[in-house]
Amino acid sequence: MIRLLLLCLFGVCSSGMYPPKATAEKPNILFISLDDLNDWVGCLGGHPQAITPNLDRLAESGTLFTNAHCPAPACNPSRGAIMTGISPHVSGLYDNRQSMRGQMRDAELLPRYFSNHGYWSAGSGKILHYIIDAQSWDEYYPPKETEDPFPRTFYPNKRPVSLPRGGPWQYIETDWAALDVTDKEFGGDYLVSQWIGEQLSQTHDKPFFLACGIYRPHEPWFVPQEYFEPFPLEQIQLPPGYLEDDLDDLPPAAKQRGPNRYFAHIQEQGQWKKGIQGYLASVYFADTMLGRVLDALDSGPNKDNTIVVLWSDHGWHLGEKQHWQKYTGWRACTRIPLMIRVPKGTPGLPQGTTAGTTCDAPVNLLSLFPTLTQLSGLPAKETNDGPSLVPLLNAPNMKWPHASITYLGRPGNFGVSGQRFRYIRYDNGDEELYDIETDQYEWNNLAPKREFASKIEELKSFLPASFADYANNNSGASLPDLNWLPFNAAAEMGSNPHGDTFEIRISNKTGAPVKIFSIDGEGEKHPFGTLETGWSKPYETRPGIIWLVANSEGQPLGYFKVGNEPAHAEIPNPNP
């Protein structure tokens, strides 16, 4: 093959680096995540009022998987599994309170694997759980050294805006409002889409792995006013999957996960339809930001040599099963949009995908890592736990010999999605079974009926033989406490690190998200991302290290100085 060497000038990207120029042998990859997006997408039919023209056009241009499920119904374990290709039952990363690197210290993430095989790997926005993991990327926006994946975002000064807090148990971001700002003034996902669009508009010396993390429809559901306007409050429809007495046939373990304080509080405050309106508006906003990215790709030099993958980390309840939020094994929470478009000439699928194809095989996002390596002609990674989806991209109606497993927070809790049936089991032995063909909203639990015993055994056969233990399951109660020291701008903040490493657990009781930093011996700050309110996470440290805590604006609040042993560091509420 004769190669034409093209010399071209291109603009400097935000960090001042020149990204490399793509070759014809390996395809580019555009890897797009939308956070907390369930099936309220036009092409999936989850809610009749959803406005998602860009999601729909992407689905129409490639393959739409209509029976795709997440590895776990929470951001951290789901994203950790997707980006490493390692299942929660192997890694032991089961929930949001754990540390991805604490569980998988040496795991090679998807972008680093591609970089090590000749790609330029870059990203923007939330791809991992409130961290960037700088070592895994060649470039990031915001800069990877900050370990904070969020660009500036406009939020109201006085909060909550719509939903009064029901107590310290309520996530502070559970709120919604139309903002009197433009997309540009709002920032956030607009800035992410802008930066990603700049990269897509350039030619590159190397093939690229480019990850785009669109944060909406993650809470808070604050987006510009124009995205609320198509959803007048008086016309809002309740979720099609809502049934008032839906919990009556559930076993005790399931009922514990069904009704939660959020949904009851939202109903008491008369905010249910306003919450649905906020979610629909946020989905519409996210879809518009996706459109900016797709337009940049389609009008740029990389259109014909770029694989596009779009996914969400998990779904979201808006009243179904009397539940609000995520963390469940029901289909409203585990089922997510998954779309893949492969251009012709791709090494692992030379004919590319056929536009407008749908596939109803039960698949899992754990398969994205091996799918992309196979499509790109890269060596398979031995630690990947999921099957490649390339056979389904080649023949969407083939007989698929796999089920999709979603791990629910602790070993022994899981959901298994087959072609037609879904099975949920809890660690106390309680079970649920649903026939999705006749009961798409899972209103009728078939598990107690004898005639379905063989179907349960069939789905159980897909389960692993063993589960990794849940590690770091310590709230800090049994550890000695570190003293909280209010910040003093006049004090010298230099650490004196010495001795071996161990973990401290930092708990955020402030009622708002905080930023965590370690301080080195020179007094320089090293970011460790955001710690959400109410969360407790482990951090690796050494004796003598100072851990600084700042508010969401970066203003220091106080700090802890580590002693000679593992300890619990609780950040207090300034207004108890």
| Helices marked H in 437-543 | 453-460
Which 8-state DSSP code applies to residue 44? G
Cβ-proximal residues to 552 (8 Å cutoff; 6+ apart), any chain: 512, 513, 514, 515, 530
For the question of residue 70 being annotated catalytic, the response is no
For residue 339, the SS3 value is strand
Q: Are 206 and 308 in contact (CB under 8 A)?
A: no
CB 122 within 8 A of CB 211: yes
Q: What stretch of H or E contains 558?
A: strand 556-561
Give the H or E element holding residue 416: strand 414-417
**Helix, strand, or coil (residue 193):** helix
Which ranges constitute the DSSP H helices of 416-497? 453-460
How far apart are the C-alpha atoms of 78 and 150, rounded to whole Å? 19
The answer to whether 508 and 534 are in contact (CB under 8 A) is: yes
Name the DSSP letter for residue 388.
P
Residue from 47, 69, 89, 129 carrying the catalytic annotation: 129
Angle CA 519–525–531, to nearest 5: 90
Does residue 313 contact residue 78 with C-beta atoms inside 8 Å? Answer: yes
- List the structure tokens of 513: 């998200």
The one catalytic residue in 43, 70, 75, 212 is 75
Distances (CA, A) of 31 to 209, 210, 310, 341, 372: 7, 6, 6, 11, 10
Is residue 540 helix, strand or coil? strand
DSSP string, 266-324: HHHTT-HHHHHHHHHHHHHHHHHHHHHHHHHHHTSTTGGGEEEEEEES---EESGGG-E
* Helix extents (H) in 142-202: 183-186, 189-200
With contact defined as beta carbons under 8 Å apart, do 425 and 431 qualify? Answer: yes
Known catalytic residue: 13? Answer: no
SS3 content of the chain, % helix, strand, coil (to 5): 25, 20, 55
Do residues 330 and 50 touch, judged by C-beta distance below 8 A? no
Give the residue numbers marked as catalytic: 75, 129
